[in-house]
Amino acid sequence: MNDTAKPPVEITVEISSLASGGSCVGTITAPEEQAGKKAFIHYTAPGERVTAIVTQKKKSFVNAALKEILSPSPERTTPRCPVFGQCGGCDIQHINLPAQRRIKASMVDDLLRVHGGIVVEGGVKVLGDDLPGFEYRRRMSFHMNKKAEFGLYRKNGRAIVELTQCPISTPAINKCLEENIDLFRGCAPEAETVTIEDHDEGIFVALEIHPRNDKALTTLVPKEAFQELIKRVPNLQVNYRHKPIFKAESRSTDAPPIGHFSQNNRVANQVMLEYILQHVKSERVTDLYAGAGNISIPLAQAGHIVTAVEVDPFLVDFGISRAIEAGVSDRLTFHKKPCEKWIESNTGDTSVVLDPPRGGALEVCQRLSPDKVTDIVYVSCYPPTFARDVQVLAQRGYSLKTVQMLDMFPQTYHAELVAVISATAAS
């Protein structure tokens, strides 16, 4: 039996584009027996020539780890974060911001064409090309382990990369980290996740108890670190299995539900809302997957009569209170129901806004009828399911008019899409 390990296979690759998942993809030029195959390599940039070590072989492509940059891209830049390349959060911080946005729009265009058979007339455009690239993220979840290591998960694993600041987080979140990181560490091992959210109402912190330890609260509450956190962070709560089981007495009674969906980039969200308001045509609008009214409330403020449908009861309750505070509760009605169930007995208004989670809105799209709903604005955080749903809508008599790539998550491969879709007869 031969136990000699095979030597690593080194390849030379011409990098061509960004791929979904955060790596870049290119064509192998050497060695000859590998030539022509595709290779996926993280921390590279389109236009570069690199060498890499093969880590996984597939029939038509390989995954590889970057070894050397033979010909660097002029769009390569020095990452701001000292743990970039270790932390699993950012993918493309080594590429300058204008280039990031261009290659992300191109990635979406390729994905829609190759995997969805969808050709966007004029190509996928960039919406908000002057948005900031750092200090934008207003919700962060940090992790701790039994050794009280604190930070973010390493790429492709659960090991923790320790850090004290995150350059894509808002200054308020980083200030909270700076002031309280030792106290957060002092709440381990009972707490395994620290979520910090930056809202208009202030900073909110939630500690998530390890799911296997339902008695942890009894040992967490007496801890000196936890008691000091209560003094320093007015809006503090403790969750078990993502449900609140403790709230500090000083916590705001009208606070947003922590750990539930909200748009993470305040400035980009405003750009998105302005675009949506420009493209909703009818007086009556149905907002499906409405959350706490992120889109519904601005629509109502603009004079539309809005039906909002959302399954999360915490978000619905908060949305109702926000609508009352904004003075639009007479024009905005919330329905606490899964959109897939609601659409079974409702047609939707002439204009429909879709803002589903990553799984998309397949069942809803299968029921939308162009003789009832003539205009759709579809907001997607996951291009593959968006492509699938657009195919379904096309079969039902709709046509895709425009797709905008909104860079909601700079420094990552993630792309938010805002699409305008119309009934074919009405277009």
Domain of 322?
107-131+264-426
In this structure, the answer to whether residues 215 and 321 fall within a common structural domain is: no
Looking at residue 253, its pLDDT comes to 64
Last residue of a domain, one of 195, 216, 247: 247
Looking at residue 398, its pLDDT comes to 96
Where helices occur in 211-312 by DSSP H, the ranges are: 216-220, 224-232, 266-279, 296-301
Within a domain: 81: no
In this structure, the answer to whether residues 321 and 389 fall within a common structural domain is: yes
In this structure, the answer to whether residues 234 and 184 fall within a common structural domain is: yes
Residue 285 burial by Cβ neighbours in a 10 Å radius (0-12, 13-18, 19+): buried
Residue of 81, 90, 187, 381 with catalytic role: 381
In this structure, the answer to whether residues 274 and 234 fall within a common structural domain is: no
Measured between alpha carbons, how far is 292 from 261 in angstroms, rounded to an integer?
8
Instruction: Extract the tokens encoding 134.
Output: 């750092």
CATH code (residue 66): 2.40.50.140
Within a domain: 275: yes
Within a domain: 2: no
In this structure, the answer to whether residues 125 and 147 fall within a common structural domain is: no
Looking at residue 2, its pLDDT comes to 54
In this structure, the answer to whether residues 114 and 162 fall within a common structural domain is: no
Known catalytic residue at 87: no
In this structure, the answer to whether residues 421 and 295 fall within a common structural domain is: yes
Within a domain: 220: yes
Nearest C-alpha neighbor of 251 from the set 232, 228, 224: 232
CATH code (residue 240): 2.40.50.1070
Measured between alpha carbons, how far is 121 from 105 in angstroms, rounded to an integer?
14
Within a domain: 100: no
Looking at residue 256, its pLDDT comes to 76
Instruction: Extract the tokens encoding 170.
Output: 């808002």
Strand ranges in 329-415 using DSSP code E only, listed in sequence order: 332-336, 351-354, 375-380, 398-406
Distances (CA, A) of 417 to 125, 174, 369, 371: 10, 28, 22, 25
Looking at residue 194, its pLDDT comes to 97
Measured between alpha carbons, how far is 427 from 424 in angstroms, rounded to an integer?
5
**Considering the entire predicted model, what is its pTM?**
0.92
Within a domain: 258: no
Q: How many domains does the chain fold into?
A: 3
Last residue of a domain, one of 51, 71, 91: 71
In this structure, the answer to whether residues 282 and 400 fall within a common structural domain is: yes
In this structure, the answer to whether residues 277 and 407 fall within a common structural domain is: yes
Within a domain: 84: no
The alpha carbon of 361 is separated from its chain's Cα centroid by a whole number of angstroms, namely 16
Measured between alpha carbons, how far is 349 from 225 in angstroms, rounded to an integer?
52
Q: What share of the chain is helix, strand, coil (3-state, %, to 5)?
A: 25, 30, 45
Last residue of a domain, one of 186, 215, 247: 247
> Tens-of-pLDDT digits for all 427 residues of the chain?
455 667 899 999 999 999 989 999 999 999 999 999 999 999 999 999 999 999 999 989 999 999 999 999 999 999 999 999 999 999 999 999 999 999 999 999 999 998 778 889 889 999 999 999 999 999 999 999 999 999 999 988 889 999 999 999 999 999 999 999 999 999 999 999 999 999 988 999 999 999 888 889 999 999 999 999 999 999 999 999 988 999 988 776 666 777 776 788 999 999 999 999 999 989 999 999 999 999 999 999 999 999 999 999 999 999 999 999 999 999 999 999 999 999 999 999 999 999 999 999 999 999 999 999 999 999 999 999 999 999 999 999 999 999 999 999 999 999 999 999 999 865 5
In this structure, the answer to whether residues 276 and 417 fall within a common structural domain is: yes
Within a domain: 189: yes
Distances (CA, A) of 202 to 157, 198, 199: 32, 6, 5
CATH code (residue 274): 3.40.50.150
Q: What does 159-180 look like in DSSP terms, one character per residue? A: -EEE-S--TTB-HHHHHHHHHH
Looking at residue 198, its pLDDT comes to 95
Cβ pair 413, 43 in contact under 8 A: no
In this structure, the answer to whether residues 24 and 56 fall within a common structural domain is: yes
In this structure, the answer to whether residues 326 and 388 fall within a common structural domain is: yes
